[in-house]
């Protein structure tokens, strides 16, 4: 049982690493486009859709697709990473109790 949990933890850790690399490449492509076009917003816009729709999208209507794609990738990577870290933590606790 302990061996299986160790392999699962290692597998999830590797998945977290590849997830980080994949989303970093995706996010950096979108970030480059936004920086080149001087689109500016802060982290509060990433996690607050109402504020994003009210303040940023009307200000930069030509780049709404890029903004939404960038924010979508950030949200998705954060949520998947949180789930994987929680799984690693739970399996670590289980492994410690064995």
Based on the structure, what is the number of domains in the chain?
1
pLDDT of residue 67: 92
The predicted-structure confidence for 8-40, as pLDDT tens digits, reads as follows 889 888 988 888 898 888 888 888 999 999 998
Answer left, alpha or beta for residue 78, where phi above 0 means left and psi between -120 and 50 means alpha. Answer: alpha
Q: What is the pLDDT of residues 50-80, one digit of tens each?
A: 999 999 999 999 999 999 999 999 888 888 8
Which range of residues forms the domain containing residue 20?
2-97
Three-state SS at 61: helix
pTM of the model: 0.78
Question: According to the model, what pLDDT value does residue 19 have?
Answer: 83
Mean pLDDT of all residues belonging to the chain:
88
At 38, phi and psi to the nearest 5? 55, 40
């Amino acid at each position: 049982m302990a061996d299986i949990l160790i392999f699962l933890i290692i597998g999830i850790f590797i998945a977290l690493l590849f997830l980080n690399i994949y989303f970093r490449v995706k996010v950096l492509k979108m970030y480059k486009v936004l920086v080149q076009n001087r689109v500016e917003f802060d982290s509060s816009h990433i996690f607050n859709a109402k504020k994003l729709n009210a303040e940023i999208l009307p200000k930069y209507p030509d780049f709404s697709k890029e903004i939404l794609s960038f924010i979508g990738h950030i949200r998705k990577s954060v949520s998947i990473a949180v789930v994987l870290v929680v799984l690693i933590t739970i399996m670590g606790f289980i492994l410690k109790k064995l």
